[in-house]
Every structure is written in structure tokens, then in C-alpha cells.
Amino acid sequence: MIQNFGTRKTVATLFKVYYASTIAGKNLDSSDWKGHKWMQALWEIRQLQGRDAADQYMLYTYKAWEDSAEPTDFEHVFLTRFMAGCGSRTIMARA
């Protein structure tokens, strides 16, 4: 059964599952929910680029978050913030 959360709850759950997984050292996401594909992608990024890089992408994604409006398309909302977060990390690494 796919759990259909609102955008904010989906994002909060994604951060929760990601950081719980990174602390445990294994992907703890085993359910079918709206953020499942993103969690799988984030874990693949973590495996390819390392824990530090993936954790920083997520941190900068959080920092780049603007919560003034809540679009209903979770995929678009998270992708936009994640790309901003990745860009912020790149800029910070160059400084």
C-alpha cells in the first residue's frame, strides 16, 4: 500500500529515513511510499560519492528550503531543493 503524505510530511519523512539510515550504515527504507524512489536514489548517491558528500547534500538541501508555499508535486519540490542544495555544497567547497 502506497502511503500518500502531503509534501511537507513526505519531505520530513525522507529526511528522517535518510539520516536514520546513514547512522545505521544501511538503507532502512523498506516501505512503498511517496518518497521511496528518492530514498533509493539518495542511497545510491551515498554509495557512489560517500557518506560525507551525501550527508552534506541533504544538509544543504535543508538549508536551501524555502517553505513559503507548498506545491503539491513532491517530486518537483524536492528535486528543486536538492539541486539547490548540491549547488550550495559545490559553492561552499570552492570557497
Of 92 and 29, more confident? 29
Contacts of 39 (CB under 8 A, 6+ apart): 14, 17, 18, 21, 27, 29
Question: Considering the entire predicted model, what is its pTM?
Answer: 0.72
Residue-wise pLDDT tens digits, 21-71: 999 999 999 888 888 999 999 999 999 999 998 998 888 888 776 665 555
At 33, phi and psi to the nearest 5?
-140, 175
Q: What is the pLDDT of residue 28?
A: 94
- Is 6 a residue whose pLDDT tops 90? no
Q: What is the mean pLDDT of residues 2-29?
A: 84
